[in-house]
Amino acid sequence: MPVREFDEYERAALVRASQGRAGHYLDCLGRTDLAQLHPEEWQHVCRLVIEDFGDEIKLQVGSGSSGHPARGLFNVHQTADNINQNEAA
């Protein structure tokens, strides 16, 4: 994949992640000062941002001009060992 195409995907994913579920979660907590979050709350914010970013990347790459799902993508919930095993296969 050419670098410029991936950059377009990243920009779209960044927009989705920045407008995604993490902000809503912080609103529901009633706190937006990240320094005031408990470690578990901060980890949840990070997880939401990463998942929203990854979901948008998968959507953009998977709906490429060929109409075929992209190959080589991995589930964001896989462990590094699972990814290494899949790549070796």
What is the full per-residue pLDDT of the chain (89 aa) written as tens digits?
666 666 888 999 999 999 999 999 999 999 989 999 999 999 999 999 999 999 999 998 887 643 434 434 444 444 445 544 554 55
Phi-psi map region of 2: left, alpha, beta (phi>0 left; psi -120 to 50 alpha)? beta
Q: What is the CB-side half-sphere exposure of residue 66 using CA atoms within 13 A?
A: 7
Q: What are the structure tokens assigned to 27, written together?
A: 């609103």
Which residue has 């995907």 as its token pair? 9
Burial (Cβ within 10 Å: 0-12, 13-18, ≥19) of residue 32: exposed
What domain range includes position 52?
A: 3-88
pTM of the model: 0.62
Q: How many domains does the chain have?
A: 1
